[in-house]
Structure 1
Amino acid sequence: MVGIGYEVYSIREHQQGISDNLVIEIVKRKKVLLITEDKDFGELIFSHGIKDCSVIFLRYNKQDLDQIKKNIFWTLESYYKNQSHVFITITKEKIRIRQI
C-alpha cells in the first residue's frame, strides 16, 4: 500500500490454497499482521492457544467496504504499532480488541 507505510503480502496471490496452520506459521515467522475474513482464525488462535501473532478479522457486507477500509487504517495507526499481540475484530459499527 503506497503512501501509508505498510508492506502487503497476499497469501491469495502468492500461496493460495495453503492450510490455515501454515498461514499462522508464516505470520509468526515473518512477524507480520494477518488481515482476514476467515473466522476459522479466531478458533485457531483462541481454542488452540496460538501466541506470537496478531490478527485483524473483518466482518462486513459489501456495501460497508468503504467504512471497513477506514476502520482498518485507523486500527493500524492506533493499535498495531504497539508490541503486544492482539486479535482485532472490525465491523462497520465497532472495533473490538482482545489481547492474545
Structure 2
Amino acid sequence: MQFLVNENFPRLSICLLRDAGLDVASFSEEAPGTKDFEVLARAAQEKRIILTFDRD
C-alpha cells in the first residue's frame, strides 16, 4: 500500500509507518502549505491513500 500524509500528520507516526515497511510520502517534508485540492490530485495520480488529521 502507498500512503500520502498531509502536513498535519504526526512525524512520529510517519516514521513508525515507514519502519513497518510502508511507502509513505509526506507533504510536511516535501511541500508544506500545499492546498487540499493539490493533495487530492497527487493522491489520485499516484493511487495513494490519504492520511490526515484535517477536519475540513
Q: Answer yes or no: same fold by TM over 0.5.
A: yes
Runs of 4+ in structure 1 over 2 Å off: none
1:37 corresponds in structure 2 to 53
User: Higher relative contact order at CA 8 Å, sep ≥6: structure 1 or structure 2?
Assistant: 2
1:26 corresponds in structure 2 to 42
1:5 corresponds in structure 2 to 21
Could you report, residue by residue, the CA deviation over 1:30-53 in whole angstroms, capped at 9, with x for unpaired residues?
10011000012xxxxxxxxxxxxx
Question: Which 5+ residue runs of structure 2 have no aligned equivalent?
Answer: 1-17
Question: Which 5+ residue runs of structure 1 have no aligned equivalent?
Answer: 41-100
Could you report, residue by residue, the CA deviation over 1:9-37 in whole angstroms, capped at 9, with x for unpaired residues?
11111011111000000000010011000
Matched AA of 2:54: D
Q: Which has the larger radius of gyration?
A: 1
Q: Cα RMSD over matched residues? A: 1.0
Identity of aligned residues (%): 28
TM-score (norm. length: structure 1): 0.37
TM-score (norm. length: structure 2): 0.62
